[in-house]
């Protein structure tokens, strides 16, 4: 794993710098990132990335629920629910650039206020707009950490307590191998998928 990191370190850090730049982006641009994180659960991240972007900004920001459904259909699972979440999340746009600087607190606010966002999705969004030290415990990451013995099994967290406990285990492991948490996430993701995406 350490050798993998050495091989990919330059590209991983470049991607993380791009995420950091998004922290200074407009609230509308951050909203597109939120839409991406709302749509990726149980879906192909690359396919979602192909539709949740600047090209479709108008539909994502102002389209009807039906228009958003049409955009998502065939590109992500549960497109009916996810289109509803996107439309409802527009009420939160003005607060996206007023989130606390402290990641754990910002995450709780997102979970409390945006339907369709849990710990994984909130952590994903915050990492993608420049926050650090939050674990994105998706299937790829959990499976990887199970395979190397950090987690006892590959069961997904089903409660806040479970998520935070698993996040702490991942943090401990990252510290032990001297790789930052967000770098470890992209390393494990790319080892599973072959890409440093987001």
Active-site residue set: 120, 138
10 Å Cβ neighbour count for 97?
Answer: 15
Kindly tell me the burial class for residue 148, based on how many C-beta atoms sit within 10 Å of its own C-beta (0-12, 13-18, 19 or more): exposed
Q: What are phi and psi of 193, to 5 degrees?
A: -105, -15
DSSP 159-182: SHHHHHHHHHHHHHHHHHTT--HH
Following DSSP, what letter does each residue of 4-53 receive, concatenated? HHHHHHHHHHHHHHHHHHHTTS-HHHHHHHHHHHHH-TTS-HHHHHHHSS
Compute the C-alpha angle 40/108/50, nearest 5°: 15
CB neighbour class for 78 (10 Å; exposed up to 12, middle 13-18, buried from 19): middle
Report angle CA 103, 160, 30 to the nearest 5 degrees: 35
């Amino acid at each position: 794993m350490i050798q993998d990191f050495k091989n990919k370190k330059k590209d991983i850090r470049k991607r993380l710098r791009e995420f950091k730049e998004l922290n200074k982006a407009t609230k509308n641009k951050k909203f597109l990132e939120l839409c991406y994180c709302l749509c990726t659960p149980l879906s192909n991240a690359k396919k979602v990335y192909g539709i949740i972007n600047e090209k479709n900004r108008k539909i994502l920001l102002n389209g009807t629920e039906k228009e958003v459904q049409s955009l998502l259909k065939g590109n992500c699972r549960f497109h009916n629910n996810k289109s509803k979440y996107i439309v409802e999340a527009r009420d939160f746009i003005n607060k996206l650039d007023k989130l606390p600087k402290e990641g754990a607190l910002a995450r709780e606010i997102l979970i409390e206020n945006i339907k369709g966002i849990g710990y994984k999705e909130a952590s994903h969004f915050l990492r993608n707009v420049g926050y650090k030290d939050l674990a994105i415990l998706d299937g790829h990451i959990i499976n990887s950490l199970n395979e190397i013995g950090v987690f006892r099994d590959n069961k997904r967290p089903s409660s806040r307590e479970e998520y935070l406990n698993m996040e702490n285990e991942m943090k401990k492991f990252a510290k032990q191998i001297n790789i930052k948490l967000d770098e470890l996430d992209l390393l494990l993701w790319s080892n599973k998928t072959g890409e440093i995406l987001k």
